[in-house]
Amino acid sequence: MNLEIITFILFVHVYFSQGDRISLDGQLLNHATIVSRLKLLQGNITFTNEYINKCIYLVNIGTNDYVNNYLMPQSYLTSRIYNPDQYAAILIQQYSQQLTTLYNLGARKVVVFGLGPIGCTPAQIARVGTNGRPCVESINNITMLFNNRLRPLVDDLNNNLRDARFTFVNVSGIAANRLVMPNVPCCQIQSNGLCVPNSIPCPNRTSTAWYDGFHPSEISNSRLAARAYIARSPLDVSPNDISNLARL
Ligand SMILES: *[C@@H]1O[C@H](CO)[C@@H](O)[C@H](O)[C@H]1NC(C)=O
Ligand SMILES: *[C@@H]1O[C@H](CO)[C@@H](O)[C@H](O)[C@H]1NC(C)=O
Ligand SMILES: *[C@@H]1O[C@H](CO)[C@@H](O)[C@H](O)[C@H]1NC(C)=O
Ligand SMILES: *[C@@H]1O[C@H](CO)[C@@H](O)[C@H](O)[C@H]1NC(C)=O
């Protein structure tokens, strides 16, 4: 088994206090530079192409298009311009082009992560309230529209691009299947949803679903990783879990 993983894009933090970030288009341009440099260094384009074709790319993006844009009507106009379904459609349309660009740069095995249960994050629960339910249902309904379009996008890419092996990870589905853990953070959070600086986090890191107001705890992440790698149900990851992808 030749498992080479390029962790391509992880959560892009757009919180103002957290500094600058590189857009997905910018990351694709950077990746094109890396691929050219690799071709130059390896001195054999066939070899480099075969090499890149074997890599497993992980693409996990979209959370902040909701958390730090659509769900912030005081700062962004998107929720006034687009209804939730139109917004999901626009994001997916751009994403389709960006994933095709990644394919054109040589990527074949690409793991695409859906959005997690944003309505279950302590920050959204504190902001909106849940009406006695475990999560903010209206927010999960909005982000589900994106997930429900992302999965068919993955199928389309596989059908239309030769040798493409895109695969979809159902992050929300996996999260809903975990053992029930409270939707509370492990640390004491301040008004921006991040941990109070220098505060002492909870002693037991496996007891909460969330680390701070936005980010999953270690236990949530490791359960997601385990089921993305070896799916327990065909709904977790499709069409190939990561362990299958590594063998192809
Ligand atoms: C270039 O790489 C391919 C694929 O690994 C190999 O078959 C071929 O012999 C290489 N060409 C040269 C000139 O080394
Ligand atoms: C969320 O979607 C479910 C299923 O479509 C629906 O029954 C429910 O009323 C929706 N909830 C809200 C708050 O929009
Ligand atoms: C994700 O999994 C859940 C069940 O665990 C399922 O209801 C849902 O349809 C799946 N979503 C997608 C987009 O495949
Ligand atoms: C931490 O929490 C988990 C889940 O609530 C529990 O199973 C475990 O025993 C706890 N560990 C310690 C050291 O308290």
Measured from the Cα of 235, ligand 3's closest atom is 2
Whats the size of the chain, residue-wise?
Answer: 248
Q: What is the pLDDT of residues 101-123, one digit of tens each?
A: 999 999 999 999 999 999 999 99
**Residue 46 C-alpha to ligand 3 middle, in angstroms?**
39
Beta bridge partners of 110: 57, 166
Mutation test residue for ligand 1: of 38, 41, 47, the one with most atoms within 8 Å of CB: 47
Owning domain of residue 146: 3-119+132-173+235-247
What gap in Å lies between CA 167 and CA 151, rounded to an integer?
A: 8
Instruction: Classify residue 52: in a domain, yes or no.
Output: yes
Instruction: Classify residue 195: in a domain, yes or no.
Output: no
Instruction: Classify residue 16: in a domain, yes or no.
Output: yes
Q: How many CB atoms lie within 10 A of CB 235?
A: 12
Nearest CA to ligand 4 atom 12: 204
pTM, to two decimals: 0.89
Instruction: Classify residue 178: in a domain, yes or no.
Output: no
Residue 145 phi, psi dihedral angles, 5° rounding = -60, -35
Instruction: Classify residue 187: in a domain, yes or no.
Output: no
Instruction: Classify residue 190: in a domain, yes or no.
Output: no
> How many domains does the structure of the chain reveal?
1
Using the structure block, give the residue that is written with the tokens 């695409």: 112
Token representation of residue 53: 């074709």
Instruction: Classify residue 215: in a domain, yes or no.
Output: no
Return the SS3 of 199.
coil
Measured from the Cα of 144, ligand 3's closest atom is 13
Q: Hey, which bits of 43-174 come out as E strands?
A: 56-59, 109-113, 165-169
Q: What is the pLDDT of residues 49-80, one digit of tens each?
A: 999 999 999 999 999 999 999 999 999 999 99
Instruction: Classify residue 151: in a domain, yes or no.
Output: yes
